[in-house]
Amino acid sequence: SEGGIGVSTTSQEQVMKPGCVGKLPDHMELRDEAGNKIIEPGVVGEIYGIQKNPRRYWRDEEATAATFNGGWTRTGDLGFIDEDGDLILTGRSKELIIRGGYNITPLEIETVLHQHPAVQSAAVVGIDHEVLGEDVAAAVTLRPSTSATPADIIAYAREHLADNKVPRTVLVLGELPLNPNGKVLKKDLKPVLEAAARAAREKKAA
C-alpha cells in the first residue's frame, strides 16, 4: 500500500506458475538481508521499489526509517527470479521463519499442505525453540467427510519438503482464526501451537 502497483502478470504461462506476478520492472529490485542487490536466479530476497515522492509514516520515525531509505521502499514482500526471469512471490518478511540459521518461508510449506487431499486450509508459523531459535509449526482444517491426523500431515509434508521445512508440530482445528477480511490471524495461532509443542515435549519427557 505504501508504493502502489509494482508488477503485473499478463501471459498465460505466467498465470499458470504458482506465485508468479510477472517480470520485475526496472524500478524494482530484489535485495538480501544486508541490502545487496540479488541477480542470481532462485535466491529469495526482499522486493524494493523506487519511491519518487518522499513518504513517511504518521508520527513513526522508526517505521519510516525502516521502510523508506535512499529513495527506495521496502515492500516487505519476499520472492525470487526464476530461470525464465519471472518474479515468484514466496511470502512476507515479517512471517519469515529462521530455523537453525536457515530462512524458511511459510508460504512454501502452506502450498504443500494445501495439496493434501484432506486439507481445507493451512497456516504455518514459527514458534520459539530453545536450540534452533524457531521451529516450524502448522495448523490445518479438514475438508468435509475427510480425516487426517497430525502424524498424517507431517508424513505428507516429509514426502514433499526438505527436512528442515517439515512442521514438527501440527494441530487439526475446526477453524482457523480470521480477521474481518478473511485473513488468518497467525499471531493468535502462535501461542496455541507453542502450547501444543510444549505439551508434546513434556509428554515425551515423562
Integer-rounded Cα radius of gyration of the chain? 19
CA distance 54 to 2: 11
pLDDT at 1: 46
151 or 45, which is more confident: 151
Q: What is the pLDDT of residues 85-141, one digit of tens each?
A: 999 888 888 889 999 999 999 988 998 999 999 999 999 999 999 999 999 999 999
Where residue 187 sits, what CATH number does that domain have?
3.30.300.30
Whether residue 52 is predicted with pLDDT greater than 80 in this model: the reply is no
pLDDT at 181: 85
In-domain check, residue 3: no
62 Rama sector, left if φ>0, alpha if ψ -120 to 50, beta otherwise: alpha
Site of grid cell 531509505:
69
pLDDT-based confidence at 197, cuts 50/70/90? very high
- Domain encompassing residue 39: 12-92
Is there a single domain that holds both residue 23 and residue 64?
A: yes
Q: What is the pLDDT of residues 170-195, one digit of tens each?
A: 999 999 999 998 889 999 999 999 99
CA distance 108 to 65: 30
Is there a single domain that holds both residue 106 and residue 76?
A: no
Is there a single domain that holds both residue 100 and residue 200?
A: yes
Where residue 44 sits, what CATH number does that domain have?
2.30.38.10
Give the mean model confidence (pLDDT) for residues 44-66. Answer: 70
Whether residue 35 is predicted with pLDDT greater than 50 in this model: the reply is yes
Q: What is the pLDDT of residues 148-157, one digit of tens each?
A: 999 999 999 9
Q: What are phi and psi of 160, to 5 degrees?
A: -120, -5
- Half-sphere exposure (CA, 13 Å, Cβ side) for 71? 5
Is there a single domain that holds both residue 75 and residue 133?
A: no
Residue ending a domain, choose from 40, 68, 92? 92
Considering only CA atoms, which of 142, 123, 112, 131 is closest in space to residue 192?
123
Q: If residue 134 lies in a helix (H) or strand (E), which one and from where to where?
A: strand 133-142
Q: What is the pLDDT of residues 126-155, one digit of tens each?
A: 999 999 999 999 999 999 999 999 999 999
CA distance 98 to 201: 21
pLDDT at 49: 87
In-domain check, residue 1: no
In-domain check, residue 2: no
Percent of the residues in the chain that have a pLDDT greater than 70, as a whole number: 83
Whether residue 161 is predicted with pLDDT greater than 70 in this model: the reply is yes
Choose the weakest-confidence range: 1-15, 46-60, 88-102, 171-185: 1-15
In-domain check, residue 25: yes
Q: What is the mean pLDDT of the chain?
A: 86
Residue ending a domain, choose from 28, 58, 92? 92
Count of Cβ atoms closer than 10 Å to residue 166 Cβ: 20
Percent of the residues in the chain that have a pLDDT greater than 90, as a whole number: 55
**Helix or strand or coil: residue 122?**
strand
**Structure pTM?**
0.72
Considering only CA atoms, which of 187, 117, 190, 203 is closest in space to residue 153?
117
Instruction: Label the pairing between strands 97-99 and 86-92.
Output: unpaired
Is there a single domain that holds both residue 183 and residue 201?
A: yes
Is there a contact between 119 and 153 (Cβ–Cβ < 8 Å)?
yes
* Cell (9 digits) for 52: 519518487
* Cell (9 digits) for 130: 530453545
Domain count, the chain: 2
In-domain check, residue 4: no
pLDDT at 58: 61
Considering only CA atoms, which of 129, 122, 87, 127 is closest in space to residue 108?
122
Q: If residue 124 lies in a helix (H) or strand (E), which one and from where to where?
A: strand 119-129
pLDDT at 183: 87
Whether residue 69 is predicted with pLDDT greater than 90 in this model: the reply is no
